[in-house]
Amino acid sequence: MFYTNYKSPLGKIIIIGNSQNICGVYFEGQKYFLYKIREDLIENNDLEIFKLTKHWLDRYFKKENPKISEIPIAPIGTNFQKLIWEILCKIPYGETSSYGEIAKKAAKILNKDRISAQAVGGAIGHNPISIIIPCHRVIGANGNLTGYAGGIDRKIKLLELEK
């Protein structure tokens, strides 16, 4: 696994991946940094995947709405977490969803009567690919801005950037 740094308008971002996929995009000091990544990381600023991701982030911060599908991602997590992260990827740019709405979608996919919003919140909080997997677009049922592993101030700025 390799890493590179990216200087964003919201602070330093560490991008982690291999030669084919991005496995992590973390703000410096973010909660759950390197969650489930157990390998030693080697700095490499020349990987094409990193250049592609940096260009994607440049475009995102210029409000160009790049598509998630442009970046090959491979987040590391449980099957439940991956399902929740897939659902997050379907929240359109500039829109939000609630934990409860995501729980209902996950329950339907898993053919369950119910999944708790708290379980969904746990999976969202451990999202290893910030911004690209848009966990910042998830809000509380009453419209409250709830936690964000990168910090609530960053969540507010990301939502403002998209609207």
Q: Which two tokens stand for residue 56?
A: 């994607």
pLDDT of 35 reads 65
pLDDT of 148 reads 83
Neighbours of 11 (CB within 10 A): 15
Residue ranges of domains in the chain, CATH in brackets: 2-70 (3.30.160.70), 79-162 (1.10.10.10)
Task: Indicate if the alpha-carbon torsion angle 17, 158, 138, 119 is positive or negative.
Answer: positive
Q: pLDDT tens per residue, the chain (163 residues)?
A: 999 999 999 999 999 999 999 999 999 887 766 766 667 889 999 999 999 999 999 999 999 999 999 999 999 999 999 999 999 999 999 999 999 999 999 999 999 999 998 899 999 999 999 999 999 999 988 888 887 888 889 999 999 999 8
pLDDT of 32 reads 67
pLDDT of 96 reads 95
Residues labelled as active-site residues = 135
Report in angstroms the alpha-carbon separations of 147 from 95, 121, 138: 17, 9, 9
* Side-chain-facing half-sphere of 80: CA atoms under 13 Å: 15
Amino acid in position 84 = I
pLDDT of 27 reads 92
Neighbours of 50 (CB within 10 A): 21
pLDDT of 144 reads 81
